[in-house]
Structure 1
């Protein structure tokens, strides 16, 4: 239901927009996510469904990710940052792809699985954190920050750009800590907590930002953008689980 810009950009990239109506492509996307939801439920009690779940996740994530090769997904004037609402939204499928790979290939070493899971987190925090230093992004997050009971106080101390810069610095520090933690597990818990705070705060906007919801499709396009950060929360859970498993092996 509703209009989803990144779906249209994706169909434009593949040259299939004229083959069917927007509602048909919306239905195909919805069917993919419903299939993931059903397989997720089945796989909680039956391991044999996990590889199938992973395969569907990979397909659903790769299709929009390939569309990143379209120039419409990027802001050339800012040196190649992902476009707000399309590029940024599609980049988040990297997190979903990582989940699919880990499910499909459980035989991979725990260290390899950790890197697969952490790379999407690093990329999104680095890219979107870097964008916080631009006026375009500073203005883009203003309504979100104003609505937040956790962040709105920042505007009473700093202006819009400075507030955005500070959020960007936080994101980049989280990236640095994650990279360090991959080589020194003593830093893993603070790295996960610091990174997780970014994604949990994003989820709070679903309740504080009125524009996240609408009557026709429950979640607005902005709401869809925000809720995708749950995939990154899963990535962090996977990283923590694999880290604890490795520590237990080392202790034994």
Structure 2
């Protein structure tokens, strides 16, 4: 195994850890409340609060994140799974609109959102590698 393959696997495994960890955290009341503002402003998820409670929305998102993380892990062994897991992971890591605000003449954000940029890159790498 060459260094490029090792780096790819480390990136995927790191993304798996984050998705599973954060996904499981979505089953807590604190996290359900913490993500409400992000979900409400998300172009594809804002409708969820109209049909589900705050806790159920958080749980649904958590299940999606955990399954996606497990899919990414399996993509290391089964290439076809990577197509779906990579695409699902990319969807997760698309940054919520309206996160950046102007503060003292400079754009600021909740900096934890910035982690989504390298994880989005890894998600896209899994997707494209799985299609080769």
TM-score when normalising by structure 2? 0.87
Could you tell me which residue of structure 1 aligns to residue 107 of structure 2? Answer: 218
Match of 2:61 in 1: 167
CA RMSD of aligned residues (A): 1.9
Q: Higher relative CO (CA 8 A, sep ≥ 6), structure 1 or 2?
A: 2
1:183 to 77, 85, 92: 77
Runs of 4+ in structure 1 deviating by more than 6 angstroms, as ranges, are none
Ranges in structure 2 where 5+ consecutive residues have no aligned partner? none
How many corresponding residue pairs? 130
Matching of residues 9-48 of structure 1 within 5 Å: none
Distance apart, 1:150 and its partner CA: 1.4
Residue 151 of structure 1 corresponds to 45
Tell me if the contact between 1:114 and 1:242 (Cα under 8 Å) persists in the aligned partners: no
Structure 2 distance, partners of 1:139, 1:126, is 19
The structure having more radius of gyration, on CA atoms, is: 1
Instruction: Summarize the alignment of residues 98-177 of structure 1 with structure 2, pairs less than 5 Å apart.
Output: 107-108=2-3, 110=5, 112-177=6-71
Corresponding residue of 1:228: 115
Label 1:146 to 1:242 Cα distance change in 2 as closer, same or farther (>3 A).
closer
Residue 242 of structure 1: CA displacement? 5.1
Deviation of 1:160 (Å) = 0.2
Instruction: Looking at secondary structure, tell me which structure has more helix per residue.
Output: 1
Q: Is this contact kept in 1: 2:80–2:130, CA < 8 A?
A: no
Structure 1: gaps of 5 or more residues: 1-106, 248-252
- Cα distance change of structure 1 residues 242 and 157 upon mapping to structure 2, 3 Å threshold: closer
Mapped partners of 2:30, 2:116: distance in 1:
21
Residue 169 (structure 1) shift: 0.3
State the alpha-carbon separation in 1 of the partners of residues 16 and 29 from structure 2: 22
